[in-house]
Structure 1
Amino acid sequence: MEDKLYTIKVWLTTLILSPILFNLLTFLKIKTFDPDSILLIFFMFGYSLIYSLPSFLIYHLSFLKLKSKLNEKSKFILIILSIILMIINVRLVFGNNSYNSNGNFSGITFSVIYCISIIISSYYFKIHKTNQWE
């Protein structure tokens, strides 16, 4: 049976994992725990949920289009598509200077963290192919 929830699992796992990774890396960098960072996780999740909806819909429709030939290559295509959509999202949210090295690397930081989360989520969940006789 095909895993109809694959795209939702990958999307939500990415949205949950990314703020946690961001806070973990921040903690490792500044070496002090800020209790407000827990609130930041929830804020980042909600913010990402809203801003990534259009990207998720494109991702899900692409999955449905590729589902007849699901294999590792199509999974790789979905990962690349997700990363491209995420970069477009970051450009829209952070603006034209999001990737400039002008001292503000927020776009780069978020992009790298979300790329890592997309890859982890995509390979963690398996896609089960449908038997054509079912």
Structure 2
Amino acid sequence: MAVGILVVGIVVAGRLAFYYRDSYHHALDKQREFAQLAESRQKIIVDMQARQRVVAAIDAKYTKELADAKQTIADLQRDVSSGAKRLRVNATCERVSDATRASGMADASSPELTSDAERAYWRLREQLVTAEKQINGLQDYIRAIQNVEKTQ
């Protein structure tokens, strides 16, 4: 009977040993899986941070260029308004006929923009600069992202 109890004890101890051994190997497999997942996610985070730095640098560059261009336009507009500079228009006036001149009409003055046309000119000039800077910025963004993807 003692031998039977000893055999049962050895069998139970063996089964417990195999159970804990299997649990240990299962836990090791899970640990490796989680380590690979963490490494993969860390690579994604590093990639996203690199892209964010590229985008921030491009944004800062073109935001500054746009602000500088708008300031230049505002300075030019202020100089034209104050008379320090003139806005030149490539235009021609209709010829005044000799009969009109003979009747005492003075020659027409140099062509000038109406106030509405001048405001439209400044608005269009600012919109043109804004669109140009936005397009250049987007093109740089695309090139930078493509370069980041190539290095991976």
Find the structure with the greater CA-based Rg.
2
TM above 0.5, one fold?
no
Greater helix content: 2
* TM-score (structure 1 length as normaliser): 0.34
